[in-house]
Chains A and B, each alone.
Chain A
């Protein structure tokens, strides 16, 4: 079975540009998570969805960040406008809540904002 799929794997953009990161969770999983990894702050949750509904977005840094999950097999994380401090690795993870409870991670997207 395919694991969590993220695209793009690498993104380089200039400050002020819009960035969209994409994630396809493991088929059948009902919870999806967006994490950010930086040297300073480590790994931290940005937002997670259960059955396509946002449950906890307390980690979303500010209004420049938004996330959507229009259906069970697709989610996006958008940054508009991007800033150099947004440079990080962004991970998507999924799980089958209440059954598996282990989160499986995608390969991550390395974002560089110049």
Chain B
């Protein structure tokens, strides 16, 4: 079974600075998807970014980018120019391709943005 580990329960960053959230996963599959979801206090789960394992190029979405290291099974999220609205829980998630469609989530990292 696949597992996802987020080793940082909490992180903090100053407004306008850059922060990186870590995620590692364990799988024997070669093709899969990885996601970062954001959960603000409203508890709505919001997709931040996704990465297909077959793609070597790291995904980017505006201020959000990932560092995908397939061999190391690492998938970190970098947030540049942090804003107060980025404060939230961030969850890393794994999904198989061709097998179960379910998302396997990490425990989450709580990000605080200091003004």
Contact = CB atoms under 8 A, between A and B. Distances in A.
A54 interface: no
Contacts of B33: 101
Contacts of B95: 101
A24 to B, nearest CB: 16
Contacts of A43: 91, 103, 105
Interface in A22-75: 31, 33, 35, 42-45, 48, 50, 55-56, 59
A11 to B, nearest CB: 14
B44 A31 contact: no
Contacts of B46: 105
Interface residues of B, number: 20
Q: Is the interface of A mostly helix, strand, loop or mixed?
A: strand
Nearest to A45: B102
B45 interface: yes
Interface stretch (A13-21, A77-85, A89-97): A89-97
Nearest to B35: A102
Interface in B27-62: 33, 35, 37, 42-47, 50
Q: Which of A59, A93, A103, A108 has the most CB of B within 10 A?
A: A103
Contacts of B45: 91, 93, 105, 108
A108 B37 CA distance: 15
B11 to A, nearest CB: 17
A70 to B, nearest CB: 20
A8 B105 CA distance: 25
A59 B1 CA distance: 13
Given A42-B107, A42-B108, A56 B100 contact: yes
27 contacts: A31-B101, A33-B101, A33-B103, A35-B103, A42-B106, A42-B107, A43-B103, A48-B102, A50-B101, A55-B101, A56-B100, A56-B102, A59-B102, A89-B43, A93-B45, A95-B101, A101-B95, A102-B35, A102-B50, A103-B103, A104-B47, A105-B45, A107-B42, A107-B43, A108-B43, A108-B44, A108-B45
